[in-house]
Amino acid sequence: MIDFTKKITSERATKSTQDLSSVDLLLAFESDRGRIINSAAVRRLQQKTQVFPLERNSAVRSRLTHSLEVQQVGRFIVQKIFGALNKEQLEAYKLDGLERCLESVVEMSCLLHDVGNPPFGHFGEQSINDWFEQNFESMLPLIGKEEKLSISDELTRDICHFEGNAQAIRLIHSLLQLNLTYSQVAGILKYTRCGTEDKPDPKGKFSYLKKKVGYYHSEKAYVENLCQSLDMQVGCRHPVSYIMEAADDISYCIADIEDAVEKDILDVEKLCVVLIEESKSILAKFSLDEQDQTFEKIINKALKKYKEDGMCQVSEFFVSLRVGALHPLAEHATKRFVSNINDIYAGSFNEALLEDKSTAHAISETLKQVAFKYVFCDKEVESRELQGYKIISGLLDTYKPLLSLNRPDFENVRNPKSSARLIDKRLFKKLPNKHLRAYDNVINEHSSDEDEFYYRCRLFQDYISGMTDQFAYDEYRALMISD
């Protein structure tokens, strides 16, 4: 008999797994909830980009408002899953009485899923990766008169592949030390590849689960302990992460186009036309019945709401569109979860719940493609992304001299009475204490110069990626004022 409680056991619980009651578990997850909601990482999401960097219109989504919407959808899917399972199934999977526990873990996983993202969204992520790939060899410090420090291919790969999902795990465990339950952290472990690993074979067993970096070498031991404690095979997912991923997919595919209408990039009537056209194209691409009017009916119903006299026509349109799309998408995610529950429980289900070329998949893909073609390619969005790219690259250029120092010289910079360059000392003083403490804690345990340089790179990636859009912009202007 499958024991689902092993997947929801608490790292902080003092009792054995067998002795944990639903009350014990709920208290542990309520503690997680408090730690998460009160964390600085969540607060910073209010000034991080969803689609439009440095946006002044508060009606347009930030990472925080997006995450709150994902949280609600995740909760809704959990409720539908419990409604779909009968009494025998709930007992067989040891889920009976755990609905509130699972709701809480899913909600907080949804709230946390973007905390590792750098300023300026995915373009910021690419900027960090490009900068380290282009500068890595040139910034390797000298360990002798002419000999440069040697870094293994595995650690080089890890450093040069910054990934928001992996940074979230690092932020929660190594930087903020939130001491969350293993179950809660596993809920945001969306991908299961370590940064030191190569990309998997596209036809391999875990090709989807490992298509992106899920955690860094710096958190490898922690993730291995997490997997062992939760009885999960390394490379597999926690069941909660499938629900979190589906909730994110459902939320952002509608939100992005709503923000575009809010900013007058698209108007409602043109949006309806392109949605219907794209829907037919996706249906054909998925070899589905092109006469399937499921989504077209949802669009037309929303358009009718828009055309009715009212004070908030655009709002009425999107309420109708969102509700109309949410229910079939959440229903399909539930159906896929329940019908594949054995593989999902094992964490080996190598697909997203909403990516199966079904009618529901066609709806979400239609929304995503319209956003890609009409929102992400908008001149304002592209201009802001380029601005963000230059800001992050410029900040890393500024701090590059500290990365290029050998270990003794870097330690010398930290001494206020040393003869180190004044500019290096001033730059060092800008690094946050919590990041320096994380660096110091691990350096005390790793004595090699290779390890020190690896964690120094992590130190600067932690600092830059933790900035909000506005803070990064202000820091860039302050440091580049002499240019």
Give the residue numbers marked as catalytic.
Answer: 66, 113-114, 248, 426
Question: Residue 283 corresponds to which tokens in the numbers above?
Answer: 């249906």
H or E segment and range at residue 402: helix 379-404
> Of the candidates 289, 112, 123, 275, which has an alpha carbon nearest to the alpha carbon of residue 186?
112
From CA 166, how far away is CA 160, in angstroms rounded? 13
Q: Which residues pair with 365 in a beta bridge?
A: none
Task: Give residue 102's identity as a one-letter amino acid code.
Answer: L
CA-to-CA separations, 468 to 45, 62, 76, 207, 347, in angstroms, rounded = 8, 11, 30, 33, 33
Please state, in angstroms and rounded to a whole number, the distance separating the CA atoms of residues 426 and 72: 44
* Partners of residue 392 on adjacent β-strands: none
The radius of gyration of the chain from alpha carbons, rounded to an integer in Å, stands at 24
Q: Which helix (H) or strand (E) holds 373?
A: helix 359-374
Residue whose tokens read 């992996």: 166
DSSP string, 311-331: S-HHHHHHHHHHHHHHHHHHH
HEC assignment per residue over 41-110: HHHHHHHCECCCCCCCCCCCCEHHHHHHHHHHHHHHHHHHHHHHCCHHHHHHCCCCCCHHHHHHHHHHHH
Helix (H, G, I), strand (E, B) or coil at 215: strand
Residue 242 and residue 354 in contact, taking contact as beta carbons nearer than 8 Å: no
10 half-sphere exposure, CB direction, 13 A CA radius: 24
Cβ neighbours, 10 Å, residue 325: 23
Count helices and strands in the chain by DSSP H and E runs: 22, 2
Return the closest-CA partner of residue 186 out of 197, 172, 176: 172
Question: In 3D, which of 71, 157, 55, 175 has the Cα closest to residue 465?
Answer: 175
Adjacent-strand bridge partners of 49: 62
Amino acid, res. 245: E
Q: Which of 43, 78, 109 is nearest to 248 (CA)?
A: 109
